[in-house]
Structure 1
Amino acid sequence: MGISIIESTQSGFQWVADRVWKVEHAFERANASGVKASSARMRIFCILVGMTVAYVCLAGFAARGSLQGRGQIAALTGEPNARAQLVDRNGQLLATDVNDYSLFVDPNDMTGDDRSLVRRALLQIFPDLPRDQIDKPFKMNRRLLLTNNIKAAKRDEILNYGLPGISFEAVRVRDYPLANTGSAYIGMTQRGGEGMSGAEKAMQDQIAANAATDQPVTLAMDLRIQGALENEMRAMAVAQRAQSAIGIVTNVRTGEVLALASWPDFDLNRPGAFSDAEKRNHAAVDRYELGSIFKVISISVGLDTGTTSLASVYDGRQPLKLGNRLIHDEHASSELLSLTDVFIKSSNIGTSRVALDVGATAMTRYYEALGLFRSADIELTEPASPLLPSRWSDSSLASSAFGQGMAITPLSFIEAANATLNGGYLRPLTIKKYDGHSPLPGTQVFSAATSRTMLELMRQNVLKGTGTRANAPGLRVGGKTGTAQKPGNGRYTSEDVSSFLAVFPVDGPVDGDRYSVLVTFDSPQGAPESGGSRMGGPVAAPVAGHVIERIAPFVGVARKEDKFTGPGWDKAPVAAEDVTGDH
């Protein structure tokens, strides 16, 4: 930890006292040798002034180091690998450097009577330590480490016992006061202090630099939103006995990731107690065929290229034949489908026809412009690259349009989907808090008109389509469901990936602040909460709706009516959701 202010000033006083003594003797020698007193006094006075100034500077420097905290002390003492605090966008503490302590026992600092007393006390203080471990220093009669990783409060408690022969040595460690909360987002460090994952690794240089000035590093995370997302997602994941679950909340205008959750989570203070699988950031590393939520992107491309419009009509009465393959819808339709019907009834046939009308050249050009052919653009180091078709045939093009045959990470998907919801701009995701005035990076991929139409389609889907379970009255929620069969061993399995993409509020300026919520469950097993269903509508949509209900006040979205409310919308029949997979 370095020297304290008391130690610094004490040593400084001693230094000055030594110099004053020497000056006094110099004055005596000057008189004895006949040197003019005035000349000697002047020289001695100058020396004293210089020493006083030097001491004041020394004392001030030590005092500032003591008062400004750990990061500054580290800079003064040369402590290696000191790290600045991590805080959320509202200044709430997420990670900090603290001292843990190692406890040593030295029987040579005890009397014979003390030894038995100290041994009994240690057995009571550490009931979980093996008796042999406590006995070892006494048997070997020398100073030995008894245990480590003792927190400051426990150390103070032990010191209050006043036990002889007990000493502590401080060890700087990274502490996460919220343990599991935001574990994938915040990340963890190595024992030496270097970041290993999450923001701790992504922001390594800034965290190290800010430690020298004792300035925290501020993340885009809102701890209130993070907590609400984790709470709702975890409850459904446990009920569904899911393999894993992912949640992401972003501001679609700025690209800020306000919350990122990966379940199962883990205690950042005890990473060694969890397996690599439990510490995996599923949002960044796992690649999924995400199913019908991908229709948000493919329908947007059709609208933007002008190959489809709300006036377009598609024949969904018969399966679509592509070579030897048939694409069909789970629900039979006795009518032709408008583009709105294609979206809110989640028609694989209709969406495939939209993609085929766009063509592989134009569609893949949009995919590339949306970043779907690379890993997600975000400061995190974990994001994986996509798995793409080896060639873009009519069949692979149609499959990609309804979220099959192309596996991407949830972070890649939300980055691309946000461009359909924010006026058309592809913006990198960021874990840094936006300063509110710097120019926002981004490339316009869609027109503002395309974005506005997609927002309205998503609102209609929540009111009378497959996403009704996500509706939050007055918050103008839009969304899209998705259920995809998981591929495995060259075929599609009976396991599903169930998702919901939500956005709110859908009204207001097309380039204004609005928020996307992505929730994905890997291999839900069906539960009473979803009526036994494993599909995105019953499983993921309610979670998104509950999250939006809870976080709306935190992002300043007030309840009000919109143009889609009323009996003509909310009492319309709801169609069944299509499952993408082996059809």
Structure 2
Amino acid sequence: MIGKWRKRFEGTALGSGIVVDGERKAFGSRARPRLMMTMAVFLGLYAALSGRMIHLAMTDPEVGAGPASRVTASRPDIIDRNGEVLATDIKTASLFAEPRRIVDADEAIEKLATILPDINYEQTYNKLKSGAGFVWLRRQLTPKQQSDIMNLGVPGFGFRTEKRRFYPGGSTAAHIVGLVNVDNQGISGIEKYIDDQGLADLQASGLAQPKDLAPFQLSIDLRVQHIVHDEITQALTRYHAIAAGAVVLNAKTGEVVAMASVPDFDPNNPFNAHEKDRLNRMSAGTYEMGSTIKSFTTAMALDSGKMNLNSTVDASKPFRFGNQTIRDFHGKNRVLTLPEVFIFSSNIGSGHEADIVGLEGHREFIHRMGLLDRMKTELPEVARPTEPKVWKKVHSMTIAFGHGMSTTPLQTAVGVVALMNGGFLMNPTFLPRTRDAALESATRVVSQQTSDEMRYLYKLNATKGTGGSATRATVPGYRIGGKTGTAEKVVHGRYSKDVRFNAFVGAFPIDDPQYVVLSIVDEPKPEKPGQAATAGLNAGPLFSNIIRRSAPLLGVQPDFRLEEKPLLVSSQ
């Protein structure tokens, strides 16, 4: 059987050796070109993929669609006067995507939303579908967010290490230190000031290296700053106010030792920093400062030489001029000495003081004290004061007791520093400054005698038994002096008796003032039913609490022996 099939096979064309050999040659001649063509195609694809991978590996992600080099530019630490860190750089991860590698944008964004639920779905979806080579998805992730996104395993997602600004104190000094944007560039406060002083140019040129950036020191004392922030935060609640603030100034150098305003914001999460009620009211808000302005009216009268501590004014009846009438809140209805005008906060008496000096003299003095010009300091957020375009007698009379002009609380405190330190007006600074350096740029605005007499009046106003408005602001062991200011606010074009802006400004130790403190409480309500809501009941105690807690830290020790010693002053 086998032999039969063998014979049949050998008798066919396939079975002959010649025929089979010819078929092999024909088949081989056709297969070789195909094989070579297939190999060439695969080699070409491999070469293209390899070239692309090498190109991607060698390409700097910052070039083209990637972030610019300034994104990770360093910033110097900001420190307080004692070396405590107020702001520093930390490393953080930022999430980017390569949309060309995203296989399923719907699936990718659904997974990402489980980690970042607040992500803008539509905007992110459009980015992932764009086909671009690089897009940012979220800057400055937390370590947990980065870890969770990595675990999603989505191809086309990647991370880049960047610099993020971190503020250890949170909101404690937010308005002073300021903010940076997502690219680590200063946009407010001292952060912006640093950029304007040359840091931005260094970053742009790639020279802002961490090892070359020395810490940027401020005049702020973080311990006192914390006390101020804590006290105004408590006052905001205690007096049911819409805002509160305070500043502590070195009376010898003009340095800002502490300053805060609430409501404020957390610079580590500044989502609400631009809300209008969170502005820095101490330097970026202007207000009618009420009776605190009487400090300058009285100083003007004394410095003019037209009045002295023995001068008197008739406050037995309202002060009338033209169609206008000035009345006292709690009038004594009698002739008052100049010290009584001050401690009883007489509007009538202040009007007479301004009238004696004269309109032009009054306007010149207020400008001389720096109350009506835009303040010069390192902080960018500084408001411009307002005054009448043309001063008339009615303006002079009302400005004499704090209505009709608006200035910033910080400027008011700076003016009082000049009244307390011997008469030298100094631009406030947030940087360390010596006494000698301060005096070099200072301007004498009142005489030494006027300064001595104003210290006497400030102390008298805080002395128990005199009926002064500052008696509730006293601090046992410290000789303080000060002046209240309760200003009615304008509501619907008219002054409201129920809506107030309250302030208290004072100095300590009043014998030789080292520090000036000014506190404000905006639209306070009575602390308890039936109580009033004037400055002596809220801004005064706020002032007192700040001094009580901060004075020992500032090196001013209490001395209870001084409580009974009189303050001597020349009355010539």
Cα drift, residue 152 of structure 1:
6.2
Match of 2:551 in 1: 552
Structure 1 CA distance, aligned partners of 2:487 and 2:96?
Answer: 57
Structure 2 unaligned blocks of 5 or more: 1-68, 102-106, 568-572
The partner residue of 2:93 within 73, 81, 101 is 101
The partner residue of 2:160 within 169, 194, 218 is 169
User: What do the CA deviations read for 1:446-496 (whole angstroms, capped 9, x no partner)?
Assistant: 111111111121111112311111101111111100101112443212411
Cα drift, residue 296 of structure 1:
0.9
The change in CA–CA distance for 1:563 and 1:88 in structure 2 (over 3 A counts) is closer
Q: Which amino acid aligns with 1:385?
A: R
Maintained 8 Å contact 1:307/1:354: no
Secondary structure of the corresponding residue to residue 394 of structure 2: helix
Maintained 8 Å contact 1:476/1:562: no
Structure-1-length-normalised TM-score? 0.73
Structure 2 CA distance, aligned partners of 1:401 and 1:128?
Answer: 57
The partner residue of 2:193 within 198, 202, 205 is 202
Match of 1:473 in 2: 476
The change in CA–CA distance for 1:427 and 1:147 in structure 2 (over 3 A counts) is same
Secondary structure of the corresponding residue to residue 283 of structure 1: coil
Aligned residues between the structures: 477
Maintained 8 Å contact 1:84/1:207: no
Structure 2 CA distance, aligned partners of 1:129 and 1:285?
Answer: 33
Secondary structure of the corresponding residue to residue 320 of structure 2: strand
Q: Which amino acid aligns with 1:500?
A: F
Match of 2:20 in 1: none
Equivalent residues in 2 for 1:215-234 (5 A)? 215-234=214-233
Maintained 8 Å contact 2:486/2:502: yes
Maintained 8 Å contact 1:247/1:518: yes
Match of 2:55 in 1: none
Q: Which amino acid aligns with 2:82?
A: N
The change in CA–CA distance for 1:191 and 1:163 in structure 2 (over 3 A counts) is closer
Maintained 8 Å contact 1:466/1:480: yes
Maintained 8 Å contact 1:94/1:186: yes
Match of 2:356 in 1: 357
Structure 2 CA distance, aligned partners of 1:145 and 1:358?
Answer: 68
The change in CA–CA distance for 1:219 and 1:276 in structure 2 (over 3 A counts) is same
Match of 2:8 in 1: none
The change in CA–CA distance for 1:358 and 1:144 in structure 2 (over 3 A counts) is closer
The change in CA–CA distance for 1:531 and 1:454 in structure 2 (over 3 A counts) is farther
Of structures 1 and 2, the larger Rg is shown by 2
The partner residue of 2:81 within 79, 89, 93 is 89
Cα drift, residue 78 of structure 1:
7.7
Secondary structure of the corresponding residue to residue 172 of structure 1: strand
Match of 1:520 in 2: 520
User: What do the CA deviations read for 1:362-410 (whole angstroms, capped 9, x no partner)?
Assistant: 2222112112231112122221222112333332112111111111111
Match of 1:6 in 2: none
The change in CA–CA distance for 1:438 and 1:167 in structure 2 (over 3 A counts) is same
- Which piece of structure 1 moves more, 438-447 or 180-189? 438-447
Maintained 8 Å contact 1:383/1:411: no
Secondary structure of the corresponding residue to residue 375 of structure 1: coil
The change in CA–CA distance for 1:347 and 1:260 in structure 2 (over 3 A counts) is same
Cα drift, residue 217 of structure 1:
0.6
Cα drift, residue 435 of structure 1:
4.9
Structure 2 CA distance, aligned partners of 1:308 and 1:562?
Answer: 34
Secondary structure of the corresponding residue to residue 414 of structure 2: helix
Structure 2 CA distance, aligned partners of 1:439 and 1:527?
Answer: 41
Q: Which amino acid aligns with 1:491?
A: R
Structure 1 CA distance, aligned partners of 2:256 and 2:391?
Answer: 32
Q: Does 1:540 align with 2:539?
A: yes
Maintained 8 Å contact 2:254/2:438: no
Cα drift, residue 144 of structure 1:
10
Maintained 8 Å contact 1:99/1:152: no
Cα drift, residue 157 of structure 1:
6.8
Structure 2 CA distance, aligned partners of 1:564 and 1:452?
Answer: 19
The change in CA–CA distance for 1:344 and 1:448 in structure 2 (over 3 A counts) is same
The percent of aligned pairs where both chains have the same amino acid is: 32
Structure 2 CA distance, aligned partners of 1:275 and 1:198?
Answer: 13
Equivalent residues in 2 for 1:187-198 (5 A)? 187-198=178-189
Cα drift, residue 353 of structure 1:
1.0
Q: Which amino acid aligns with 1:194?
A: Q
Match of 1:311 in 2: 310
Cα drift, residue 93 of structure 1:
1.0
Structure 1 CA distance, aligned partners of 2:349 and 2:109?
Answer: 78
RMSD (CA atoms) = 3.6
Structure 2 CA distance, aligned partners of 1:331 and 1:439?
Answer: 41
Structure 2 CA distance, aligned partners of 1:223 and 1:563?
Answer: 29
Secondary structure of the corresponding residue to residue 487 of structure 2: strand
Q: Which amino acid aligns with 1:552?
A: A
Q: Which amino acid aligns with 1:344?
A: I
Match of 1:238 in 2: 237
Secondary structure of the corresponding residue to residue 187 of structure 2: coil
Secondary structure of the corresponding residue to residue 351 of structure 2: helix
The change in CA–CA distance for 1:376 and 1:536 in structure 2 (over 3 A counts) is same
The change in CA–CA distance for 1:177 and 1:147 in structure 2 (over 3 A counts) is farther
Secondary structure of the corresponding residue to residue 367 of structure 1: helix
Q: Does 1:498 align with 2:490?
A: no
Secondary structure of the corresponding residue to residue 521 of structure 2: strand
Secondary structure of the corresponding residue to residue 543 of structure 2: helix
Maintained 8 Å contact 1:487/1:493: yes
Match of 1:44 in 2: none
Q: Which amino acid aligns with 1:228?
A: I
Match of 1:262 in 2: 261
The change in CA–CA distance for 1:144 and 1:90 in structure 2 (over 3 A counts) is same
Cα drift, residue 318 of structure 1:
0.9
Maintained 8 Å contact 1:376/1:415: no
Q: Which amino acid aligns with 2:541?
A: P
User: What do the CA deviations read for 1:340-364 (whole angstroms, capped 9, x no partner)?
Assistant: 1111111111111111111122222
Structure 1 CA distance, aligned partners of 2:140 and 2:383?
Answer: 38
Match of 1:456 in 2: 456
Q: Which amino acid aligns with 1:218?
A: Q
